[in-house]
Homo-oligomer: A and B are copies of this chain.
Amino acid sequence: MNDRPENDRPVTLADEHARGWSPAAARSRFREGLTGPTAGVAAGHTQANLIAVPADWAYEMLLFCQRNPKPCPVLDVTDAGSATTVLADGADLRTDLPRYRVWENGELVDQPTDVRAHWRGDLVSFLIGCSFTFEWALTAAGVPLRHVEQGRNVPMYVTTRPCRPGGRLRGPMVVSMRPVPPRRLGAAIRESSLLPAVHGGPVHCGAPSGLGIDDLGRPDFGDPVDLQPDDIPVFWACGVTPQAAVMASRPPFAITHAPGQMFLTDARDEQYRVA
């Protein structure tokens, strides 16, 4: 599944220019065709995963999200056919993400940068919290971000931990992994826990085998990231989980973001901090 199109250029925290963009400026550039992972873009603004399904699957998708709030914290649900969201003034969900994935019967059929040609009037879009949101809080608390240091997309893994089904929708939980030095583990857990709308605290720390992950060097999505000596792998529930549910449950049609290439909202991360 590690089929990132060749022309995707990483945009990372290291890119100070993208870091300072407004969300509207970022959306505009993505609309014009810029692609790549969005970690670090428009600092302090909330990023979101996208999954759009036909209206006759919308209840089950919302139920699946409610029953699996760690991987699928819902930030907004659109009305059927609408490409707008209360989270981003003037945004068009069909054009404003860097890259999309189009699914038919659970199979990936296209990865365009614009989905106007695929759009349908019965699509209900779900915007789901993204762990990139709490990376600012981690950074502020002194937690290093290895994938950003290494200029890579965050690594994501399909686990053997099943989600609780919602009607016809079922599938495994997907996680993102960040290596954390032991002396920063408390801060990483605490800071992310205070942001439950963007996955909250980790679901697992330490041995990858606890989640059925065989090899950290071979993520299912994103890039492998090198651990420093003593780093502990820390796993957070990931908003790519609905894509794993699409693969497992095979709804007739779906549109999602490409892993790591998120929707930039106008919301500020602090809005989702509980205390």
Contacts and interface: CB of A to CB of B under 8 A. Distances in A.
Interface of A: 58-59, 62-63, 66-67, 74, 76-77, 86, 164, 190, 193-194, 196-197, 200-201, 274-275
A51 to B, nearest CB: 14
* Max count, chain B CB within 10 A of own CB: residue among A77, A197, A274: A274
A179 B150 CA distance: 52
Nearest to A190: B275
Contacts of A275: 190, 193-194, 201, 274-275
Query: How many copies of this chain?
Result: 2
B274 A194 contact: yes
A69 to B, nearest CB: 8
Nearest to A166: B77
Contacts of A200: 274
Contacts of A63: 62, 77
A124 B194 CA distance: 31
Closest 6 CB pairs of A and B: A59-B59, A193-B275, A62-B62, A193-B274, A196-B274, A66-B74
A200 B194 CA distance: 12
Contacts of A194: 274-275
Nearest to A167: B79
